[in-house]
Structure 1
Amino acid sequence: MIKGFKEFILRGNVIDLAVAVVIGAAFTLIVTAIVNGLINPLIAMVFNASSLDAVGWTVTSLDGETEVFFGFGMILGAIINFVAVAVVVYFVFVYPMNIWKERAAAKAGIAEEEASDLPTEQELLVQIRDLLATQPRA
């Protein structure tokens, strides 16, 4: 049991995932600071509010005495934060990694055209199934 756990931990994808989580958290803090310090105040200026959290509307409840605030500014801020994080992750991690993989494939002599000519995993499984079906059973 301990040996299996050791093999699991020492696999490369577990270490890669841990690094990705740490780097993602660090980038999230940076992007959140940029959004809160630069983008949210600009949007708050457009809506003439002191903060993006103050953007919304107030509605009187059905009893006529209580007021309820619907703050769509907070939702807008969360959406902007998510999109900003996604853009940073794509252009800092995903896009360069895709270019690196293409270059590595080109160096290995495997072009995308050649790779697309290869059968898919599903096609290979169908061929194996058909071959097994033609063999006599013991």
Structure 2
Amino acid sequence: MNILSLYSNFNKYFSQINFKFSLPQRKHLSTFAEGLLSSDGKKTLSDICKSTMFPKDRVFKNKLELALDTLEDPKLQREKESYVLVDSWYTSEKFINGSQKLGFQVIGAIKSNRIFYPDGIKNKLNEFSNKLNKI
């Protein structure tokens, strides 16, 4: 039994949001609610967020850094030309440049709001696409 079951109003509220949030989101939200209820007014939501959301003793890598670390693995077979296929999340300047330094060419989708520089001219992909359609 968790502390929320002791408070019928909160329990009813969490039952109603059951279909609006994913299970991890509900668990995360219930952690904050339990922290507020069990602190007897001694802690604010900000206090609880600081202690639960930001681990003080760890440094985390983001998805791009983890992907580049994977490409650095010496066990990967590299041919004369090696390619890495990625989704649009990874088609950033940092990942593309990092991949090229490691000897990989990147193939991937590009988000329509990306800015790129064909022939040194700044363009958004969606605007550039519209120009091409008019030709």
Task: Give the TM-score of the pair, scaled to structure 1.
Answer: 0.36
Task: Give the TM-score of the pair, scaled to structure 2.
Answer: 0.36
Return the index of the structure with the highest Cα Rg: 1
Of Structure 1 and Structure 2, the greater strand share is in 2
Structure number with greater CO (CA < 8 Å, separation at least 6) is 1
Of Structure 1 and Structure 2, the greater helix share is in 1
